[in-house]
Amino acid sequence: MDHPPLRADRWQTGDVIVVVCPGQGSQTPGFLSPWLELDGVAEKLATYSAAAEVDLQQHGTVSDADTIRDTRIAQPLIVAASLIAADALAARAGRRADGIAGHSVGEIAALVGSGVIDAETGMRLVGIRGRAMAEAAAQTPTGMSAVLGGDEETILTRLSELGLSPANYNGGGQLVVAGELAGLDALSTEPVKGTRVIPLQVAGAFHTSYMAAAVAALRDAVSTVTPSDPDLTLWTNRDGSIVTDGAQALDYLVDQVSSPVRWDLCMASFADQGITGLIELAPAGALTGLAKRGLRGIPAVAVKTPDDLDAAVALLNGDAA
């Protein structure tokens, strides 16, 4: 796939560093606690909580794993954490990254980071997205599983036979699939040769046609937003391309709710553009793990807590060992 090159004025150093924002499943109990030790974070969380209609401080510090697995809570928590980490990184580094992308709900944090929408708008949208997806998931018992290894075309053929759909093409030999529970059980009982199937603890078949009602709800919410064009190179999950139009970025954000996440194509585009480093914002870990397999040799830093900021700053400023 052809992609427009990174704009020359984004090359602020000899290195080209991309920030990535994680999706659902990266949250763990208490993960926001260390961030609340930073000046101003409690106030930001209060503002973000009001916008998303979720008590982020409560759920990010004391709620248990089952509570924060609820997509209505998980999505705002994840985006808020990414925004807080992004602000802390920018304050310490003195410069922005050269590009940004988000996986699934992480695209909302990426739209904020690229200037398409402001933080409060992003938190309002993620609150609506989380509630709408939870309501859509409640209509039919569905779920998701990760399929590791195997031949992709053979896997896709088997999914079609079972009435399942690909939801996340994560690259590095990982495909997340979704659909009704009977089909997922059949896939797990008789996996495709060379694969391992891992059921995921999520409430529904996200990024499939089961989310049609959530698409309509998010589209209504987005219709009230006036976006700006990205002022930072921005990739989309839709097909790994670079988006330069803010309105189009919002359209893709809406469509993404019921269409597959193409993180494999995003990573391929990162490589095509010659990135030299990757920083994953809190709650980090999943995307740097995928990068180890999909972007071999490119250094990556996972910013899980404020203690990881120094390593991220060093990579961003070209001072990493």
223 is catalytic: no
- 142-200 falls under which CATH superfamily? Malonyl-CoA ACP transacylase, ACP-binding (3.30.70.250)
The pLDDT value recorded for residue 83 is 98
Q: Determine the angle formed by the axes of helices 152-162 and 181-189, rounding to 10 degrees.
A: 130
Task: Please say whether the beta carbons of 147 and 175 come within 8 A.
Answer: yes
Class (C level, CATH) for 13-138+208-316? alpha beta
Residues in the chain: 321
* Local confidence band at 5 (pLDDT 50, 70, 90 cut-offs): very low
Q: How far apart are CA 312 and CA 306, in angstroms?
A: 10
Question: pLDDT tens digits, residue range 216-265?
Answer: 999 999 999 999 999 999 999 999 999 999 999 999 999 999 999 999 99
Query: Phi and psi for 11 in degrees, rounded to 5?
Result: -85, 80
The pLDDT value recorded for residue 321 is 58
Question: Which pTM value belongs to this model?
Answer: 0.94
Burial class of 129 by CB neighbour count within 10 A (0 to 12, 13 to 18, 19+): buried
Lookup result for tokens 């995921």:
200
> In angstroms, what is the C-alpha Rg of the chain?
19
What percent of the chain is modeled with pLDDT above 90? 90
CATH topology identical between 13-138+208-316 and 142-200: no
CA separation (Å) from 278 to 90, 96, 189, 315? 15, 13, 37, 8
Q: How far apart are CA 183 and CA 179, in angstroms?
A: 7
Domain ranges of the chain: 13-138+208-316, 142-200
259 is catalytic: no
What six digits make up the tokens of 37?
Answer: 């030790």
> Is the bond into 283 cis (omega within 30 degrees of 0)?
yes
Question: pLDDT tens digits, residue range 173-215?
Answer: 999 999 999 999 999 999 999 999 999 988 899 999 999 999 9
Instruction: Print the SS3 string covering the chain.
Output: CCCCCCCHHHCCCCCCEEEEECCCCCCCCCCCHHHHHCCCHHHHHHHHHHHHCCCHHHHHHCCCHHHHHCHHHHHHHHHHHHHHHHHHHHHHHCCCCCEEEECCCHHHHHHHHCCCCCHHHHHHHHHHHHHHHHHHHCCCCEEEEEEEECCHHHHHHHHHHHCCEEEEEEECCEEEEEEEHHHHHHHHHCCCCCEEEEEECCCCCCCCHHHHHHHHHHHHHHCCCCCCCCCCEEECCCCCCEECCHHHHHHHHHHHHHCCEEHHHHHHHHHHCCCCEEEECCCCCHHHHHHHHHCCCCCEEECCCHHHHHHHHHHHCCCCC
Query: Phi and psi for 84 in degrees, rounded to 5?
Result: -65, -45
Task: Please say whether the beta carbons of 130 and 73 come within 8 A.
Answer: yes
Task: Please say whether the beta carbons of 290 and 170 come within 8 A.
Answer: yes
**Residue 155: pLDDT above 80?**
yes
* Local confidence band at 112 (pLDDT 50, 70, 90 cut-offs): very high
Catalytic residue among 207, 258, 259, 269: 207
Catalytic residue among 104, 145, 165, 269: 104
